[in-house]
């Protein structure tokens, strides 16, 4: 029987991993299935643009995987049972179970409410395509009314990009950005200065050293009692992983990320690999890799090398696990490229302005091209499998 590899999620990390596994493993003794809830590829790095009314490409996954040998199963993952080696899904036909021998968990992350009252009921977010479209519709309605205001809570990269994008694309709206500490605290002094000037230019009001205590339908309540009027509160105060891994018994962190070894293999269930926002892994600098597109790339590469190596009986190559820069868009014509050192701290210098915006655009286009061409051309030789454990029988089998 063929070795069954199931990839959960077809975002940046999942689509990349599935394509490269198909590129490197022989289809004679392996099969790859991708499970994804949406029929289209979602450019998550551009959802703040989608929310303000811009048209964002969304390639059909059926077209992306056509001719690759990868099976696409459109379904929502509802549970993972790593003891029985099955995934439970819900789809148009009612759903069922999908068995696997190797599982690649790439379900990404969603917005973290942090227990703040009213966020679930009243706030918007740009963590997924449906929620970004919901915000888009709401902002369009506010634009027609005029005299409306939006409050973006959280000054991480997503919050900064969302606030400046709304301000540039919807100049009729007033925009406030709430920061727990100093605006752009993790950036260099030069980058913080450029960010503040960009907010001034776009008319974004910055509220610093402020914690939000509650979100209501028409206002945000700060911990010091100050109310901020808001016709559209956008919550960007962090992300957390899906609870599915924890519910299935995988070892996870407090925010739901799967704990893995250096090769992205689950420390509790060795035939499960985690990548992208779903994984908690210590980088080469001794610190956990942040949730980011860059982390999706290096964790995906390491998992691919580990799976190919273990299945084909070859040495597992080690990929560098480094977070080297943050690329931040400030509207369509401005941005910041902030490099970080080996300790994860911002370097003194940064690239800003139009040049940084072009670099960010290039990164996004490159990520989309890589996803749209998942096998990147077929190699002259795809590896046959060696003796590997069969999850259905719990023993080794020779397939090469």
Query: Per-residue pLDDT averaged across 58-85, rounded?
Result: 95
Cα–Cα distance measured from residue 208 to residue 177, given in angstroms and rounded to the nearest whole number? 8
Residue by residue, what is the 3-state secondary structure of the chain?
A: CCEEEEEECCCHHHHHHHHHHHHHECCCCEEEEEEECCCECCCHHHHHHHHCCCCCCCCEHHHHCCCCCCEEEECEEEEEECCCCEEEEECCCCCEEEECCEEEECCCEEECCCCCCCHHHHCECCCCHHHHHHHHHHHHHHHHHCCCEEEEECCCHHHHHHHHHHHHHCCCCEEEEECCCCCCCCCCHHHHHHHHHHHHHHCEEEECCCCEEEECCCEEEECCCCEEECCEEEECCCEEECCHHHHCCCCECCCCCEEECCCCEECCCCCEEECHHHEECECCCCCECCCCHHHHHHHHHHHHHHHHHHHHCCCCCCCCCCCCEEEEECCCCCEEEEEECCCCCEEEEEEECHHHHHHHHHHHHHHHHHHHCCCCCCCCCCECCCCEEECCCCEEECCC
pLDDT at 395: 39
The whole-angstrom separation of Cα 49 and Cα 159 is 12
Neighbouring-strand partners of residue 97? 88
- 47 pLDDT band, cuts 50/70/90, is very high
| Plot region of 291 (φ>0 → left; ψ -120 to 50 → alpha; else → beta) | beta
Strand partners, 5: 32, 102
The yes-or-no verdict on residue 382 having pLDDT over 80 is no
The pLDDT, as a whole number, for residue 377 is: 56
- Buried residues in 47-68 as b, exposed as e (16+ CB within 10 A): bbbbbbeeebebeebeebbeeb
Q: Let me know the angle formed at the C-alpha of 270 by 264 and 271, rounded to the nearest 5 degrees.
A: 95
pLDDT given at position 400? 30
Burial (CB < 10 A; 0-12, 13-18, 19+), residue 222, is: middle
Q: Go through 230-257 and write b for each residue having 16 or more CB atoms within 10 A of its CB, e for each that does not.
A: bbbbbbbbbbbbbebbbebebebeeebb
Closest CA to 81 of 270, 244, 207, 198: 244
pLDDT digits (tens, 9 = 90+) for 90-145: 998 888 999 999 999 999 999 999 999 999 999 999 999 999 999 999 999 997 77
Give the model's pLDDT for residue 388: 56
Q: What is the pLDDT of residue 8?
A: 98
Share of the chain above pLDDT 90, in %: 82
pLDDT in tens, 258-273: 999 999 999 999 999 9
Name the least confident of 33-37, 331-335, 367-371: 367-371
- pLDDT computed for residue 214 by the predictor: 97
Residue 296 burial (CB count, 10 A): 26
Give the per-residue pLDDT at 399: 33
| Token couple for 172 | 């009729």
For residues 199, 200, 202, 205, the Cα torsion angle rounded to the nearest 10 degrees is 70
């Amino acid at each position: 029987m063929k070795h069954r590899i199931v990839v959960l999620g077809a975002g940046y990390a999942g689509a990349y991993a599935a394509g490269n596994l198909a590129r490197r493993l022989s289809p004679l003794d392996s099969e790859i299935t991708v499970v994804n809830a949406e029929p289209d590829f979602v450019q998550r790095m551009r959802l703040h643009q989608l929310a303000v009314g811009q048209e964002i490409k969304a390639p059909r996954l059926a077209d992306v995987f056509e001719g690759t040998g990868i099976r696409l199963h459109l379904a929502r993952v509802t549970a993972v049972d790593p003891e029985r080696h099955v995934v439970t899904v819900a789809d148009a036909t009612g759903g069922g179970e999908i068995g696997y021998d190797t599982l690649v968990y790439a379900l990404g992350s969603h917005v973290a409410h942090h227990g703040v009252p009213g966020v679930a009921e009243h706030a918007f977010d740009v963590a997924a395509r449906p929620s970004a479209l919901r915000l888009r519709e709401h902002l369009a309605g506010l634009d027609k009314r005029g005299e409306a205001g939006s409050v973006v809570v959280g000054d991480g990269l997503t919050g900064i990009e969302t606030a400046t994008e709304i301000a540039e694309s919807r100049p009729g709206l007033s925009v406030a950005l709430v920061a727990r500490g100093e605006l752009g605290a993790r950036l260099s002094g030069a980058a913080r200065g450029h960010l503040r000037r960009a907010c001034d230019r776009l008319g974004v009001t910055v509220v610093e050293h402020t914690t939000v205590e509650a979100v209501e339908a028409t206002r945000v309540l700060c911990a010091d009692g100050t109310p901020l009027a808001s016709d559209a509160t956008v919550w960007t105060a962090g992300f957390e992983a899906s609870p599915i891994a924890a519910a299935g018994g995988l070892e996870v962190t407090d925010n739901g990320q799967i704990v893995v070894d250096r090769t992205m293999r689950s420390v509790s269930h060795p035939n499960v690999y985690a990548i992208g926002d779903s994984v908690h892994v210590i980088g080469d600098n001794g610190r956990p890799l942040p949730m980011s597109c860059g982390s999706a790339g290096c964790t995906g590469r390491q998992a691919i090398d580990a799976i190919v190596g273990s299945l084909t009986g070859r040495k597992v190559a080690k990929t560098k696990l480094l977070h080297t820069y943050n690329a931040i868009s400030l509207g369509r014509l401005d941005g910041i490229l902030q490099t970080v050192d080996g300790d994860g701290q911002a370097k003194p210098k940064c690239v800003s302005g139009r040049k940084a915006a072009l670099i960010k655009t290039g990164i996004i286009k490159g990520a989309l091209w890589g996803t749209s061409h998942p096998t990147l051309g077929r190699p002259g030789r795809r590896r046959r499998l060696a003796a590997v454990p069969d999850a259905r029988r719990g023993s080794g089998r020779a397939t090469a």
